[in-house]
Structure 1
Amino acid sequence: MQLLLSRRSFVRSAGIGAGVAATGLTNAVVAAAPPIARRAPGLPDAASIAATDPAMLSAVEAASLLQARKLHPVELLDACIERSSAFDGATRVWVRTYPELAHEQAERAADRLAAGNAPLICGLPIAVKDLYAVAGLPLTASSRILDGNIAAGDSTVWRRLRDSGAVLLGHVHNDEFAIMTDTLQVGNPWHIDESVGGSSGGSAAALAARFAPLSIGTDTGGSLRIPASRCGVSAIKPTFGRCSKYGIIPVVWTRDHPGPLGRSIADASLLLSYMTGADAFDPVTAIAPPVPDGGFPIAAVGGDKPLAGKRLGVPREVTERLPAALATLFARFLDLFTALGGETRDVTMPAEPEGLLSKDAVEVGLYHRQWADRLSSYQPPTAAIVGMGLAALASPAVDWWQLARARASYQRDYNRMLEDSRLDAVVLPGAITDGLPRRTAAAVSILGASTVPFAWANYTGVPVLSLPAERSAVTGLPFGVQLGGRPWAEAELIAIGLELQAAAPVWRDIPPLSPNARALPQVSVCAPGPGPDPTNTGAAAPSFSFVPTTSTAPI
């Protein structure tokens, strides 16, 4: 891999000594480069990283090489674009790519890295779910409804990532308006005919296929955790309010969670550190505690029993429904936890209050009523859900407030379960079926019954990790688990995930994806839409919201 030099530095350096060739990195050029940066805390030693294709690097590996100036951001970006072009004909994760903008951002990242004070995320390419607004670029939510829509501004999350030097590779597919729990237009890199889950299916598939080292998605009812499990990657659904929702097309304002995905929890944790912070446009973010000094952890502590004293709750009423192959993988995951010093306890999750889904329907209707005269332009399953939402707008306001109170009570019940059993986290499967063929997948609505518990984490607002836990001996497909903790306790939860992945790095498995070339759809920046919301739609959130609490007091 080449030594990191901005092209401007390279040109300047090329004239300092006789015999300096413009086509190579001679001793004179190396001598003219800025001094090599010290190893950043938590990153692997750059000298220990061996890779011939930068696209195969994890995010923390790539960050280490970028910080040490042993890898140029443009080299990493080009490797991701080349791999996407060679393989995305089968997966079709990209809605649009932005090579011109991305190369400009990569060059700017190189300048910051050369100066020696760049954030750890600087220079890393990111795949962005087609819900996040980026000024002057299309934003379509993977729907015909928004054909031709141009974002009026930046979502807060993307603005923070951009300002930290991240590189926008492109927007990836989600289910239409992220309403369903599948992304049928995207093929699973592990088996193209299998479902990637949803709604952040493109975000997870892009990681598994090694098209990008990082991606961002959202989770309203499992939309980060389902695809992470089916694609064998890692994700973090943060506490509600940890990341701003401003400038993101909503599904349900009061339980939408922006969140990071990475191949490993270390990767996702690195990304999360740069997504967070108070935002006046999303007032719930003001109550979030500060991110730990230095960011969320990205390296395991290690040792013989690093999880000694940690207790994990296991809801057997859920795990007993697993098919044999997945039950074996789940049992192995629990065995790993105890082998590292942890303890498991059987628990019963609190029952979700009846009627919560009808409250969600009101929020769906409130957003989509701006296209009430265009129901035929939606895909049929989406149209049915939007129709339900529009009908729910006629329900009495008192019903909504009663359900909001029931949700607050439910969150406290969850907190009390953790406290009474002295738990650090609970663990649930990330899937109940061993694979799900795309041709037969009936996308399950966030407003309908689900065979896998996911909404518990959105109603409580607590942080959850999605961790790959090996692959099925029957289908060869990945299987993941959910690890849920206490409100605002991302750092403690991530620390557990880091130890588990250090002991069993199954996230390093690479899917057997065959080459299938595709001319990637490319778009350049144009004039922003009129707004005023960054999404250029009526996406502004109401002034009321759910607020997470650590209280265990009954209501």
Structure 2
Amino acid sequence: MGSALSRRRMLGSLAGGALLLGTATAPRSHAAPRSHAAPRSHAAPRSHAAPGRRLPDPGIITATDPALLSAVEAASLLHAGQLHPRELLDACLARTREFDGAIGAWIRLYPEFAYAGADEAGERLAQARNDGTPAPDVCGLPIALKDLFAVSGLPLTASSRVLEGNIAAGNSGVWSKLEDAGAVLMGHAHTDEFAIGVATPQVGNPWNTDMSPGGSSGGSAAVLAARFAPLAVGSDTGGSVRLPASVCGISSIKPTYGRITSHGMIPLTWTRDHVGPMGRSLADASLMMSILATVDADDPITALGPPVPAGGYPLTAKGGSTPLAGVRLGLPPSELPPPLQTLFDDTIQVARSLGAQIVPVVMPPTPTSLVTGDVVEMGSYHRQFADRIGLYRPERVPSVGTAVASLAVPVVDYLMLERDRLRYQVDYNRLFVDSDLDAVLIPGTRVDGAQREEFLGVSVTEGVMGDVKWANYSGAPVVTLPVGRSSATGMPFGVQLGARPWQDERIIEIGLELQEALPAWRDVPDLVPSAGTAPEVAQVAPGPGPDPTNTLDAAAPLRTPPMNAIR
């Protein structure tokens, strides 16, 4: 621990402070939809630990319904040849079709595309067993993508009538990596329209379908909570994977800004958008993080961080009586409803029992000027839809109109706002150095259940449902994990653990220890049969582009790498 403390007490160093301007590369030609008649050729696999050492022993897995398997459990059985990807997909689709009517987590399903992918994954896993060379951990696992991530030849609508009929022109970087690793795309999950809001009102929380699953990645979180798929991808601009994870009882990782490519993703605000792996457990999300947190030539910021750890991000807790001995957790003040405060206080006591030291801290205030920058970036993308303003949900029209009007802000003022962002990052990092912290511990939400339409019109930039903006402005990595359910509403509640930029591996390690002691993620909601209504769509010819999203101005013109500097 001494060397770790020494490193922590050293002055932070710049992890990449230059602005990346015009990072979009020349458009690639977009291939036509792949033929399902023959398997794709697969690139040489990246470095992976052998699944037998990394995944749980198949012999200890007791679930009989494949849809109820966690991602790491399903991966173990898939790699051992005890489960075929088609069987797993069958179970996930059957559960979706039986229960999704009242939840509405999916906006579209792609069974034909998915079964083709499952068959290819099955062949790849069989070949890996024969050759003794492990396939990627996610091979054969069904996945939900938030309706922001482009998949060539499939619809991409951001859950909005504004993009009705839009067909992606190419693959997002996220889907390219997952497809190369053998993942199986089940469908797109609903988002709050264009990822702007915190409610995702078209989706019901699986724990109580009258309640909101949070937003904007509410559909992705609902898919996981309902056990419709073992993995999902969301995005986080102002808590958009953390809030849904907390209120749906699942886990998420908001990685360091730029750690995962956002190429081919419909943006909200370029300098705050983070791609977020989501899973039922933190181990599940970490499994997918190892695939996604690699360099993408179409998004140069992804080359600035450290490489993925050898063998991938951690999946298991070290365990023992005091696995968090020597770990210092900063605890900012918080105000919560009594049932949530009880759960949070209990979590603090569990952390102490595991050896953690709890240190009272005060988070640096987020500059109010940054909200203006958020609105300018949003307007830069949405101005292309000015002639379709009436197609937005009514509660979104004022915020979109304001965003487009904000483009009158002088460029020099916008750049000064970016200066304020860098100053905030320095203040955030200084908090960790001055208090000698490993992480901060913060409630996942301030709301003990919300009706589906209770927060209509509220933007993720406002942070009204929880203390979340600090992580998007600092670019810091955060894991969110469930710790229990409210005694008043029965709704799940989770906590956030945040570190300094580029300490993704460390914060996952700490989160795994806490989740091992608080395995609330294993709780499954009781679902009422209600036939799903999401349309089942086949792949068609890709849109004209040039961007994979088949829209304009989706590629970030400016990307600011997060810094570890303190002065």
TM-score by length of structure 1 reads 0.91
Cα deviation code 1:362-390 (max 9, x no counterpart): 11110011111221111122221111111
1:515 aligned residue (494, 504, 529): 529
- Residue 120 of structure 2: aligned partner: 108
Q: CA deviation at 1:93?
A: 0.8
- Residue 146 of structure 2: aligned partner: 129
Q: CA deviation at 1:539?
A: 3.4
1:196 aligned residue (210, 213, 220): 213
Q: CA deviation at 1:42?
A: 2.6
- Residue 360 of structure 1: aligned partner: 374
* Structure 2 unaligned spans of 5+: 1-37, 39-48, 129-133
Q: CA deviation at 1:428?
A: 1.0
- Written as runs of structure 1 = structure 2, the 5 A alignment for 1:40-189 is 40-116=52-128, 117-189=134-206
Q: CA deviation at 1:486?
A: 1.1
- Residue 298 of structure 1: aligned partner: 315
Is the Cα contact below 8 Å between 1:39 and 1:45 reproduced in 2?
no
In 2, Cα distance between the equivalents of 1:56 and 1:360? 39
Q: Which moved more, 1:471-480 or 1:535-544?
A: 535-544
In 2, Cα distance between the equivalents of 1:451 and 1:346? 22
Segments of 4+ in structure 1 off by > 6 A?
Answer: none
Q: CA deviation at 1:39?
A: 5.0
Q: CA deviation at 1:451?
A: 4.9
Cα deviation code 1:282-316 (max 9, x no counterpart): 22112011010001000111111111000100101
Q: Which moved more, 1:160-169 or 1:281-290?
A: 281-290
Structure 2: which amino acid aligns with 1:236? Answer: I
Is the Cα contact below 8 Å between 2:52 and 2:76 reproduced in 1?
yes
Give me the CA root mean square deviation.
1.3
Q: CA deviation at 1:546?
A: 1.5
Q: CA deviation at 1:443?
A: 4.3
- Higher RCO by CA contacts (8 Å cutoff, separation 6 or greater): 2
2:539 aligned residue (510, 514, 525): 525
- Structure 1 residues 519, 198: CA separation in 2 closer, same or farther (over 3 Å shift)? closer
Structure 2: which amino acid aligns with 1:110? Answer: G
1:250 aligned residue (260, 267, 283): 267
Q: Helix, strand or coil for the counterpart of 1:513? A: coil
Structure 1: which amino acid aligns with 2:557? Answer: S
Q: Helix, strand or coil for the counterpart of 1:40? A: helix
Cα deviation code 1:189-211 (max 9, x no counterpart): 00010110000000000000000
* Structure 1 unaligned spans of 5+: 1-7, 9-36
Is the Cα contact below 8 Å between 2:104 and 2:534 reproduced in 1?
no
- Structure 1 residues 449, 297: CA separation in 2 closer, same or farther (over 3 Å shift)? closer
In 1, Cα distance between the equivalents of 2:199 and 2:533? 25
- Residue 314 of structure 1: aligned partner: 331
Is the Cα contact below 8 Å between 1:73 and 1:109 reproduced in 2?
yes
Cα deviation code 1:442-465 (max 9, x no counterpart): 342134362522111000000001
- Written as runs of structure 1 = structure 2, the 5 A alignment for 1:323-338 is 323-338=337-352
In 1, Cα distance between the equivalents of 2:373 and 2:560? 12
In 2, Cα distance between the equivalents of 1:163 and 1:427? 35
Query: Is the aligned partner of 1:392 residue 2:409?
Result: no
Q: Helix, strand or coil for the counterpart of 1:253? A: coil
Number of residues of Structure 1 aligned to a counterpart in Structure 2: 515
TM-score by length of structure 2 reads 0.89
Structure 2: which amino acid aligns with 1:478? Answer: P
Q: Which moved more, 1:361-370 or 1:375-384?
A: 375-384
In 2, Cα distance between the equivalents of 1:132 and 1:451? 25
In 1, Cα distance between the equivalents of 2:88 and 2:374? 41
Query: Is the aligned partner of 1:538 residue 2:552?
Result: yes
In 1, Cα distance between the equivalents of 2:430 and 2:341? 28
Q: CA deviation at 1:523?
A: 0.5
Q: Helix, strand or coil for the counterpart of 1:393? A: helix
Query: Is the aligned partner of 1:485 residue 2:499?
Result: yes
In 2, Cα distance between the equivalents of 1:273 and 1:76? 22
Q: Which moved more, 1:375-384 or 1:482-491?
A: 375-384
Query: Is the aligned partner of 1:276 residue 2:293?
Result: yes
In 2, Cα distance between the equivalents of 1:405 and 1:328? 39
Is the Cα contact below 8 Å between 2:216 and 2:460 reproduced in 1?
no
In 1, Cα distance between the equivalents of 2:422 and 2:533? 49
- Written as runs of structure 1 = structure 2, the 5 A alignment for 1:397-408 is 397-408=411-422
- Structure 1 residues 57, 242: CA separation in 2 closer, same or farther (over 3 Å shift)? same
- Structure 1 residues 542, 171: CA separation in 2 closer, same or farther (over 3 Å shift)? closer
Is the Cα contact below 8 Å between 2:168 and 2:549 reproduced in 1?
yes
Q: CA deviation at 1:214?
A: 0.3
Cα deviation code 1:406-439 (max 9, x no counterpart): 1101001000101110110001111112111124
Is the Cα contact below 8 Å between 1:249 and 1:539 reproduced in 2?
no
Structure 2: which amino acid aligns with 1:148? Answer: G
- Written as runs of structure 1 = structure 2, the 5 A alignment for 1:225-236 is 225-236=242-253
- Residue 20 of structure 1: aligned partner: none
Q: Helix, strand or coil for the counterpart of 2:462? A: coil
Is the Cα contact below 8 Å between 1:530 and 1:536 reproduced in 2?
yes
In 2, Cα distance between the equivalents of 1:267 and 1:197? 20
In 1, Cα distance between the equivalents of 2:97 and 2:439? 41
Q: Helix, strand or coil for the counterpart of 1:274? A: helix
In 2, Cα distance between the equivalents of 1:136 and 1:76? 25
Q: Pick the structure with greater CA Rg.
A: 1
Cα deviation code 1:230-270 (max 9, x no counterpart): 10000000000100110000000111001100000000000
- Structure 1 residues 278, 192: CA separation in 2 closer, same or farther (over 3 Å shift)? same
Query: Is the aligned partner of 1:370 residue 2:387?
Result: no
- Residue 35 of structure 2: aligned partner: none
- Residue 16 of structure 1: aligned partner: none
In 2, Cα distance between the equivalents of 1:518 and 1:323? 34
- Structure 1 residues 441, 386: CA separation in 2 closer, same or farther (over 3 Å shift)? closer
